[in-house]
A = this chain, B = another copy of it.
Amino acid sequence: MISAPPGRVRMDPGTRREQLLALGVRLLSTRSLDELSIEMLAEEAGISRGLLYHYFGNKQDFHRAVVRKAADDLIRVTAPVREGEPLERLATSLDAYVDYVGANYAGYVSLVRGAASGNPDLMQIYDEARAALTDRIFDTAGADGVLSALALEDSPEVRLMVRGWSAMAEDVVIAWVRDHRGVSREDLLTMLAAALPGVLSGTP
Contacts and interface: CB of A to CB of B under 8 A. Distances in A.
Contacts of A164: 168-169, 171-172, 195
User: Which of the listed residues A118, A159, A198 has the most CB atoms from chain B within 10 Å of its own CB?
Assistant: A198
Interface in A161-199: 161, 163-165, 167-172, 175-176, 181-183, 187-188, 190-195, 197-199
Nearest to A182: B156
A52 to B, nearest CB: 24
B182 A172 contact: no
A115 interface: yes
Contacts of A171: 163-164, 167-168
One complex includes copies of this chain to the number of 2
Interface residues of A, number: 43
A160 interface: yes
Q: Which of A112, A199, A203 neighbours the largest number of chain B CB atoms within 10 Å of its CB? A: A199
B201 A194 contact: yes
Given A165-B168, A168-B165, A172-B167, A191 B157 contact: yes
A178 to B, nearest CB: 11
Contact of A181 (B112, B156, B165): B156
B204 A195 contact: no
Nearest to A171: B167
Contacts of A195: 161, 164, 198-199, 201-202
Interface string A17-48: 00000000000000010100000000000000
A203 B191 contact: yes
Interface of A: 32, 34, 112-113, 115-118, 156-157, 159-161, 163-165, 167-172, 175-176, 181-183, 187-188, 190-195, 197-204
